[in-house]
Amino acid sequence: MRFRSPAYTVFSILNYTFIGILSICCVLPLIHIFAVSLSSKAAATANIVNFWPVGFTLDAYMQTLGNDKFLQALMIGIERTVLGTAISMTIVVMAAYSLSKSNDRFKGRNMYSWFFIFMMLFNGGLIPTYLVVSNTGLYDTIWALVIPNAVNVWNIILMLNFFRNLPAELEEAALIDGAGHLRTVFSIYIWVSMPAIATLSLFTMVIHWNSWFDGIIYLTSSDKYPLSSFLQTIVVQDNFAQTGVDPEKLEQISNRTVKASQIFIGALPILIVYPFLQKYFVKGIVIGSVKG
Amino acid sequence: MNKLDTGAASTSSVPSGKKASRAASYWKRTGMLHVLLLPAVIIALIYGYTPMLGIVIAFQEYEPWLGIRNSPWVGLEHFEYLFNYPDSLQVIKNTLIISGMKIVFQLIVPVLFALLLTEIAKSWFKRAAQTLVYLPHFLSWVILGGIFVDILSIRGGLLNRFLAVLGIDPIFFLANGDWFRIVLVVSDVWKEFGFSTIIFLAAIVSIDPSLYEAAEIDGANRWKQVLHISLPSILPIIIVVGTLSLGRVLDAGFDQVFNLYNPLVYEKGDIIDTFVYRIGLLDAQFSFATAVGLFKSIVGFILIVISYRLAYKLANYRIF
């Protein structure tokens, strides 16, 4: 310890306590909802569940996982996440490769850069975007959720910075061996960039899993909703009629515990990938904040 | 380098004449680079730039069955309406109040938290705290909206039960406009303060340790060191983060408001984005909603440009 004054010791104790409490507060809501989801209907309706299940039961999860509509939304959510990430990352890697070339080797690079950066700063807004998506045949298909947002300019910037830091010999060797740009990027660059690609993919997956608004405006019925949009209609709009829970069974298990279980299942994929995310995002933010 | 580049080949026809041959060799070297950019450019043109042209409907009385070409032009009528319509003025006011409060607290709390966290000597404790406070950033407002609606419920919600223990009457957080604003600010800070801390922590870590050593020799206690070394050292970053967030002052958080609000709090909780959604997509007043959206985009764009200028002037920060 560098500081030994009594005042600092007092401060230290208070500081540990304060930070400890504050940190726990950041997950308490999640713990609460998890506890509710594992509690009996009686306990949940009596409002006695805090952070530990009362009258432990898996009924709510049984109900949720036995609900075809929920399972369908879950599958569409996964489909959307996988498809969206694959499309977006392919486009990002290809664009980043070209933009990672220096200005004198790739004339026109500057023009492309501004083309993308301007898109970051200005957009047409909700209604015109909605009209364009509707008029290009994507309306009411899963493509409306994965194509319009595929060009992630921020990911392109991070990826091209990564490519720039690869040794120049790598590309020179490939070119001497007669590989074109296409082969260089797909059979060499993507393999040596796997850590960066994995990281950006993880973040893209989180964005897709969490997106709910596009599903609600571009898809016409809740049968086609990915999980986030589906949860939005039940949880926020409280629209239980659409969710396929049998009203009689609902009596037995209380809509509160079922809701809680659905919310928790929606959050689960994020909780699972969180340790991997945490490993990278600190680095990513710091890289991103340094002038590229 | 350039000689090597000619090896990078995509086939092209044999050119005639010097100029043509230079063009051909340029194409040979860089053609594939353009091709690789093509998917991104096409999608950006269709879904990024075409909607920018679509904002012309803000100056029309757009009807979907007439299309942009046949819809009648009305000039600035929608904008006049925007500035005379009491609802939209209230919405702009709400947006500024809510996002102004968010900006202030989203700056103060992370800076304080970063300074306090630096004083934690046990690294396992520090790491554990960081793991917990970064987490909410990654959860969507659909999930958190569902959780908060449950916790803030007047009928036995967790928070009201806690207040009851303290002898405070239940508060209808999500039905009272003033409380709703407070809920928005507090829950937003709760979700993001940890993540915003990262950049300040990085700035504190990069402070030259010899400054602290020198201060200690001069007899400065820890409080004095924080006041005269840590704070001034991270001040440029604080200024940058603060000015850049000013550029987003019209984004009061659509996802959050949309997932927490209800008609009872429209008066004080409705923001530009939720307003545009309701009048545009639910009431199908495409043109008026686009005009509101355009107003927001233009003001937002100007603010971003100004804030980048300011950040550069005040803290010598450049993003490009």
Q: What are phi and psi of A221, to 5 degrees?
A: -135, 155
**Contact of B276 with B292, CB cutoff 8 Å:** yes
Task: Count the domains in chain A.
Answer: 2
What pLDDT, in 10s, does the model give residues B13-56? Answer: 444 566 677 777 777 778 889 999 999 999 999 999 999 998 89
Are residues A285 and A211 part of one domain?
A: no
Decide if pLDDT at A5 tops 90.
no
Q: Would the CB atoms of A260 and B150 count as touching at under 8 Å?
A: yes
What pLDDT, in 10s, does the model give residues A36-73? Answer: 999 988 888 888 888 999 989 998 899 889 888 899 99
CB proximity B293 to A under 8 Å = yes
Are residues A190 and A88 part of one domain?
A: yes
Q: Mutate which of B25, B78, B131, B147 to test chain A, going by most A C-beta atoms within 10 A?
A: B147
Q: Would the CB atoms of B54 and A124 count as touching at under 8 Å?
A: yes
Are residues A89 and A172 part of one domain?
A: yes
User: Within a 10 A sphere around the Cβ of B155, how many other Cβ atoms?
Assistant: 9
What pLDDT, in 10s, does the model give residues B89-121? Answer: 899 999 999 999 999 999 999 999 999 999 999
Q: Would the CB atoms of A23 and B129 count as touching at under 8 Å?
A: yes
Tokens standing for residue B218: 């001069």
pLDDT of residue B264: 87
User: Within a 10 A sphere around the Cβ of B123, how many other Cβ atoms?
Assistant: 8
Tokens standing for residue A292: 């590229």
Q: Mutate which of A127, A147, A211 to test chain B, going by most B C-beta atoms within 10 A?
A: A127
pLDDT of residue A2: 54
> For chain A, what is the mean pLDDT?
86
DSSP-derived letter for residue B60 is: B
Pairwise pLDDT comparison (B307 vs A146), residue with the higher score: A146
Asked if the structure places residue A238 within a domain, the reply is no
Considering only the beta carbons, identify the residue of A3, A33, A91 that sits closest to B39: A91
Q: What are phi and psi of B73, to 5 degrees?
A: -85, 140
Domain range summary for chain B, segments of one domain joined by +: 2-55, 86-315
Q: Which residues pair with B73 in a beta bridge?
A: B60
Asked if the structure places residue A236 within a domain, the reply is no
Look at residues B63, B87, B142, B80 and name the one whose alpha carbon lies nearest to residue B275.
B87
Question: Which residues constitute the domain of residue A209?
Answer: 68-218
**CA B89 to chain CA centroid, nearest Å:** 22
Are residues A85 and A44 part of one domain?
A: no
Closest residue of chain A to B303, computed from CA coordinates: A121
Asked if the structure places residue A239 within a domain, the reply is no
User: Within a 10 A sphere around the Cβ of A90, how many other Cβ atoms?
Assistant: 15
pLDDT tier, A22 (very low <50, low <70, confident <90, very high otherwise): very high
Whole-model pTM: value is 0.87
- Rounded CA gap, A73 and A30, in Å? 22
Q: CB under 8 Å, gap of 24 or more: what pairs does B206-212 form?
A: B207/B233, B207/B234
Look at residues B282, B134, B10 and name the one whose alpha carbon lies nearest to residue A270.
B134
What pLDDT, in 10s, does the model give residues B173-200? Answer: 988 899 999 999 999 999 999 999 998 9
Are residues A20 and A135 part of one domain?
A: no
Residues 6 or more apart whose Cβ sits within 8 Å of residue B170: B154, B160, B163, B164
Look at residues B116, B114, B104 and name the one whose alpha carbon lies nearest to residue B134.
B114
Are residues A173 and A76 part of one domain?
A: yes
pLDDT of residue A276: 87
Q: Would the CB atoms of B293 and A11 count as touching at under 8 Å?
A: no
Give the helix/strand (H/E) hosting B120: none
Are residues A161 and A28 part of one domain?
A: no
Asked if the structure places residue A232 within a domain, the reply is no
Are residues A193 and A165 part of one domain?
A: yes
Asked if the structure places residue A21 within a domain, the reply is yes
- Rounded CA gap, A51 and A30, in Å? 9
Considering only the beta carbons, identify the residue of B36, B64, B120 that sits closest to A185: B36
Asked if the structure places residue A225 within a domain, the reply is no
What pLDDT, in 10s, does the model give residues A255-267? Answer: 788 889 999 999 9
Q: Would the CB atoms of A151 and B44 count as touching at under 8 Å?
A: yes
Taking residues A29-38, report their average pLDDT: 94
Give the helix/strand (H/E) hosting B136: none
CB proximity A147 to B under 8 Å = yes
Pairwise pLDDT comparison (A237 vs B70), residue with the higher score: B70
Closest residue of chain B to A238, computed from CA coordinates: B146
**Side chain identity, residue A208:** H
Asked if the structure places residue A231 within a domain, the reply is no
State the sign of the Cα–Cα–Cα–Cα dihedral A65, A70, A74, A75.
positive
- The answer to which of A247-251, B185-189, B250-254 has the lowest mean pLDDT is A247-251
**Contact of A99 with B37, CB cutoff 8 Å:** yes
Are residues A86 and A57 part of one domain?
A: no
In this complex, how many residue pairs, one in chain A and one in chain B, have their CB atoms less than 8 Å apart? Answer: 283
Pick the CATH number of B86-315 from 2.40.50.140, 3.30.70.360, 1.10.3720.10, 3.10.180.10: 1.10.3720.10
Asked if the structure places residue A229 within a domain, the reply is no
Are residues A37 and A155 part of one domain?
A: no
- Rounded CA gap, B224 and A7, in Å? 13
Are residues A102 and A92 part of one domain?
A: yes
Grouping H, G, I as helix, E, B as strand and the rest as coil, residue B227 is helix
By CB atoms closer than 10 A (0-12, 13-18, 19+), residue B178 is: exposed
Are residues A278 and A265 part of one domain?
A: yes
Tokens standing for residue B285: 């007043």
